[in-house]
Amino acid sequence: MAPRDDLNTFLDRIGAGRLELGSGDVLESINPATGARQGRIRAVTRREYDARVNAALERFDEWRMRPAPKRGELVRRLGDLLREHKESLGELVSLETGKIRAEGLGEVQEMIDICDFAVGLSRQLHGLTIASERPRHRLMEQWHPLGAVGIVTAFNFPVAVWSWNAALAAVCGDVCVWKPSPLTPLCSAAVQAVCDRVAREHGAEGVFALVPGGADVGAWISDDRRLPLVSFTGSTAVGRQVAARVASRLGRSILELGGNNGVIVLDDADVDLAVRAITFGGVGTAGQRCTSTRRLFVQRGVAGTLIDRLVAAYGTVRIGDPLEPGVLMGPLITRAAVERFTAAVTAARGQGGEVRYGGRVLDRPGNFVEPTIVLAPRHEEFSIAAEETFAPILYVFEVADLDEALRAHNAVAQGLSSAIFTDSMRAAEQFVSPGGSDCGIANVNAGTSGAEIGGAFGGEKDTGGGRESGSDAWKAYMRRQTSTVNWGRDLPLAQGIQFA
Ligand code: NAD
Q: Are residues 206 and 270 in the same domain?
A: no
Query: In this structure, are 102 and 87 located in the same domain?
Result: yes
Given 290, 388, 439, 468, which residue is catalytic? 290
If one counts the domains in the chain, the total is 2
Interior CA angle at 492 toward 488 and 494, to 5°? Answer: 125
Q: Do residues 407 and 295 lie in contact, with contact meaning Cβ atoms separated by under 8 Å?
A: no
> What amino acid occupies position 170?
A
Q: Measured between alpha carbons, how far is residue 405 from residues 294, 398, 409 in Å? A: 14, 9, 6
CB neighbourhood size of 12 (10 A) = 13
pLDDT per residue as tens digits for the range 344-371: 999 999 999 999 999 999 999 999 999 9
User: Distance, CA 11 to ligand 1 centroid (Å)?
Assistant: 27
CA–CA gap between residue 46 and residue 30 (Å, rounded): 25
Mean pLDDT of the chain: 96
> Which of 114, 151, 181 to mutate for ligand 1's pocket (most ligand atoms within 8 Å of CB)?
181
Specify the ligand 1 atom closest to the Cα of 155.
26
Average pLDDT value for residue range 166-172? 98
Give domain status of residue 459, yes or no: no
Predicted confidence band at 11 (pLDDT cuts at 50, 70, 90)? low
pLDDT grade, residue 13 (50/70/90)? low
Predicted pLDDT of residue 500? 82
- Domain extent at residue 308: 261-444
First to last CA, the chain: 76
Residues 296 and 431 in one domain: yes
Q: Write the CB contacts of 112 (distance below 8 Å, at least 6 apart in sequence).
A: 79, 82, 83, 86
Compute the distance from residue 424 Cα to the ligand 1 centre, in Å. Answer: 38
Q: Which residue has the higher pLDDT, 381 or 107?
A: 107
CATH code for position 244:
3.40.605.10
Q: Are residues 225 and 274 in the same domain?
A: no
Q: Do 291 and 279 belong together in one domain?
A: yes
Q: Who's near 491: CB < 8 A, 6+ residues apart?
A: none
Distance from chain centroid for Cα 245: 21
Cα–Cα distance for residue pair 193/89, rounded to 1 Å: 11
Together in a domain, 276 and 346: yes
The pLDDT score that the predictor gives to residue 3 is: 44
**Per-residue pLDDT, 4:** 47
Q: What is the dihedral of CA 200, 217, 65, 470, to 10 degrees?
A: 90
pLDDT classification of 19: cutoffs 50, 70, 90: low
Judge if 387 and 477 occupy the same domain. Answer: no
Element spanning 313, H or E: helix 300-315
Any domain includes 437 = yes
Residue nearest to atom 35 of ligand 1 (CA): 234
Q: Is the same domain home to 279 and 190?
A: no
How far is Cα 276 from Cα 363, in angstroms, rounded to an integer? Answer: 28
Model confidence at 129, pLDDT cuts 50, 70, 90, reads: very high
On whether both 120 and 185 belong to a single domain, the answer is: yes
User: Residue 290 catalytic?
Assistant: yes
Total Cβ atoms within 10 A of residue 499: 5
- The per-residue pLDDT for 165 is 98
* Residue 5 clears pLDDT 60, i.e. is over it: no
pLDDT over threshold 60, residue 15: no
DSSP, collapsed to helix, strand or coil, labels residue 396 as: strand
Residue 21's pLDDT band, with cuts at 50, 70 and 90, is confident
Percentage of the chain exceeding pLDDT 90: 94
Judged by DSSP in three states, 147 sits in coil
- Output the DSSP codes for 423-448: S-HHHHHHHHSTTS--SSEEEESS-S
Residue 22: the pLDDT is 87
Per residue in 403-419, pLDDT tens?
999 999 999 999 999 99
The pLDDT tens digits for 375-403 are: 999 888 999 999 999 999 999 999 999 99
Q: What are phi and psi of 353, to 5 degrees?
A: -80, 150
CATH number of the domain encompassing residue 419: 3.40.309.10
- CA atoms of 212 and 218, how far apart (whole Å): 9
Q: Does residue 457 fall inside a structural domain?
A: no
Q: Read off the pLDDT of residues 421-457 as tens digits, 9 standing for 90 and up.
A: 999 999 999 999 999 999 999 999 999 998 999 999 9
Instruction: Choose the catalytic residue: 91, 107, 110, 256.
Output: 256
Query: Is a pLDDT exceeding 90 seen at residue 17?
Result: no
| Residue 155 C-beta-side C-alpha neighbours within 13 Å | 23
**CA 198 / ligand 1 centre spacing (Å):** 28
Q: What is the pLDDT of residue 450?
A: 87
Going 160 to 161 to 163 to 168, the CA torsion angle's sign is: positive
Using pLDDT thresholds of 50, 70 and 90, give the confidence band for residue 8: low
pLDDT at residue 163 in the model:
98
Mean predicted confidence (pLDDT) in 190-219: 97
Residue 451 lies in a domain: no
Q: Does 253 map to a domain?
A: yes
